[in-house]
Amino acid sequence: MNENIVIGTDANFRSEVLESKVPVLVDFWAPWCGPCRMVAPVVEEIANELKGQLKVVKLNTDENYASASQYNIMSIPTLGIFMNGQLVNSVVGAVPKAFLMQKIEPYLTKVNA
């Protein structure tokens, strides 16, 4: 697993996502989901490129149903953007990197700005 990606669970969702000081991209996914596997390399690239500005968390919805249901995740992959403990934007489906970056950029923490 990528060192820049946190494995999310129901147990650590509050500390890793809701209490994060930087924006968080949560990849709600499941191992059996084909589109989830398609978007995974994009999520990894973003985690590497935006290290320090954005936290990336992968949450397996099969194993962590409580967190997924709390945010009404009905389709996967859902890529949720959290800021200050709130879900501020989300994208459903395997989308191109450029599209996902457009959704993320308004929330990025400007490091050394």
Residues taking part in catalysis = 33, 36
The encoded tokens of residue 54 equal 């954005």
| CA atoms of 82 and 103, how far apart (whole Å) | 12
- Upper half-sphere CA count for residue 78 (Cβ side, 13 Å): 19
Distance CA 66, CA 81 (A): 18
